[in-house]
Each structure stands twice: as structure tokens, then as C-alpha cells.
Amino acid sequence: MTASASAARPARPYTRRISPIERGYLNAAATGTPQLIQMVLDGEGWIDPDALQKAVRAATLATPGLAVRRRAASWRADGPFPPVVGLPRAPGFDASFFHRDLDVVTGPVCEVGVAEGDVTRLVVRASHIVTDGRGLRQWIADVFRVLRGEEPIGAASMVDDTHFRAAAGKVRAAPQPPRLGGLPPVLGRGRPDGTPLWTRRRVRACPSAVTARVAAAVSRHLATGSGRVIIPVDLRRHDPAVRSTANLTSRLVLDIRRDDDWKRLQGQIVGALLHKRDVAVLDGDFLRGNPFANSLREARELDGTRFPATAIITDHGRIDTDDYRTERFRPTGFFTLPMLVPYAEMFLSACRIGDATELTLACRARPGAREAGELLLDDVERALAAAD
């Protein structure tokens, strides 16, 4: 084969298998609960819509995992590019944009919304079935690199969780958490209406061990003597050189007691990470061998009145807002709108920006939920501020 013929040969198309982790999210989505990541970037200045659309396209060419569609048992990057749409200037999150699902069969699996006003707001939504928080932030950073006239770094790796299982080396089997019969709701009473209720709080503190401190604050609101917390863990920690937008989020399961101590919980978390429990759970069936719902039927029976888990708590760590800066746009805030999960009552998300921690609590709208959520965030704020 000549050099010219070799150069003319098309590159291998981005295709990867649907991993067991991603099948678990497909199962959750089949219950009618959208599995979405929503990241919100507020700032001062202006982002040109046409330039943004071109930057989205360039970043996606370098990161094809954000333009996939489901093809049988695989993802294939033959889907539409993420569209850029205008958003109403209303400050809340009642617009349909924040609540509609993204179809992984037809695409797009990602979209960008922009609202202009006193604050310019950029909202990036992506299906959590195909990506995770780290992967999506890599793509957003590439969009802003292009807006600044730089080349995108890209994330074209087609590995899945099996790569990180091998990279982790020897891992001892993890004990299987026992099934819980169902924990009563903490936030409000009565049957939920199925829509998410988001409550935000900015805390002027950036302590260590945020996840453990938040879990301890949650424990003070348990309706019974015990509860259960799920902690997402990024598998990329076992091979940081890999740049991938796949859903590479495993989990730790942490049982908590009423009025628990954050130091005890932090010890449990650190010990689980040292023993690579996030990898050990991959040796089982991530979809069926879990302590929450082992079938679509079981997942659909979770009607929002009792839960196998109290909360999901995720810490996105420190966000470098310089990654999202241009000559005309200066970021002033970054937070997420966590999704509802069939088997967990609430989802708490944290990220650190400057000298503050941004918190968002997601739960099901029901009578008394907003008031109870504010009281819980009061306790979380006190726990974080006292540690600073």
C-alpha cells in the first residue's frame, strides 16, 4: 500500500461496547427517570452563539463520545452534534429544557443552552448513560479552548471499565452490602409527583472530607436509626493518563448511623478507596448484583415512598474557572443539577470554587420537601463552615 493510499484510508470510527455500568443506567432510565448530567456555568460578559456552535462542533470532533448513538450492544459516533439553543432569562429551572430527556438511540446525547441577561448562563446537559461528570467537564473545557483560539485536547479513547479493572491490579473481593427493605423518606411526606426539586446553597468554606461531612449532616435527619449513602467514584484514578468521556463512574456503598461522626465516615471512605472497593464491585454483575434493584421490575416498583438508599453524595472537587474563561466571558459560578435516581431519595452534589463550596440538593417534589431540604442544607452548611 502506498503512503498516499494509507493517508486516504478513513480513521477507525469511534465505537465501543455498552459497559455493565452503562447498562445499569439504561435500566434506571427505562423506569421513566431521566438519567442526565446538568452542569451550569454563570458568568459576566458575552458568548457569541455562532462561535459557540462552531466550538461545540470542533470539540466534539476531538471528543466523539459526545455524539454517539446506541447501536445494538455498542455506542457509535454517528449521531448529531450537540445543538446550542437559547434559554429564557427566567432565573429558575422550570423551563422544559431542564426536564426533557435525551434519547440515546436517536441522539443528540448532549446539548448546550445559553441564557443572556444580567448574568450569562451556560447549561450543558448530557446523558449520564454515555458519560460522567469528569468526561463532560473535559469536553466543556475543550469548547472553551476553541473559543479562545486554542486546539482542543480531545478525548477519543474507546476503553471502558474493564481497562481500569486491569489497571488497578490485584483487588480483593468486596463484601456484598445486605439488601435493605426500604428506608422511609427524609424530605417531606406523601407521594411525590415525579418531578425534581433542586435546592442550592453556597457555603463560604472549602474544608477537606466534604463527602464525609455531608453524610454526617444527612445522618442527623434519618427517619430511622440507620441509612445508606452511595458515593460515586471516578475509575480514571487507576489510570489518569486515559482521556475518555465514557461513563466510568463506579460506586462505594456506605452505611450510616443516626447522628454519625464524620471522622468515622471519612475513615470508612478512605479505607474503601485504599482497598479499591470501587473496582471490586466490577467483578460482580453491576446491573443485577447490586443492593438496590436487580431487575427492571424491581426498579419500577420503587414508587418514591420507600428507598433502598438514603442519598447519593458526589464531590466534583475544585473547579478551575479559568478553564471556562474567554476574552469576553468571565465565569463567576459553577454548579450542577443532580438527577433523580429510582433507588435513592436524594442526590447531593458539591464543588469548590474559589473560597466557596457550591451545594445542590435534588429530591422529589412532595409536600414539605422544600422546607425539609432547606433544613438539611442548614446542617450541611454548619458542618462545612465549622471545619474551615
Judged on CB neighbours under 10 Å (0-12, 13-18, 19+), 208 is exposed
Q: What's the one-letter identity of residue 243?
A: R
Q: How far apart are CA 125 and CA 136, in angstroms?
A: 9
Q: How far apart are CA 222 and CA 220, in angstroms?
A: 6
Q: How many CB atoms lie within 10 A of CB 154?
A: 19
Q: How far apart are CA 266 and CA 142, in angstroms?
A: 34
pLDDT in tens, 72-116: 999 999 999 999 999 988 778 989 999 999 999 999 999 999 998
Do the Cβ atoms of 328 and 45 come closer than 8 Å?
Answer: yes
* pTM summary value: 0.92
pLDDT in tens, 262-308: 999 999 999 999 999 999 988 866 555 555 555 555 555 566 677 88
* pLDDT value, residue 305: 75
* pLDDT value, residue 1: 32
Do the Cβ atoms of 359 and 349 come closer than 8 Å?
Answer: yes
Beta strands 36-45 and 329-336, pairing class = antiparallel
Q: How far apart are CA 363 and CA 145, in angstroms?
A: 34
- Percentage of residues of the chain with pLDDT beyond 70: 91
Do the Cβ atoms of 97 and 87 come closer than 8 Å?
Answer: yes
pLDDT in tens, 165-223: 999 999 988 777 777 768 888 999 888 888 899 999 999 999 999 999 999 999 999 98
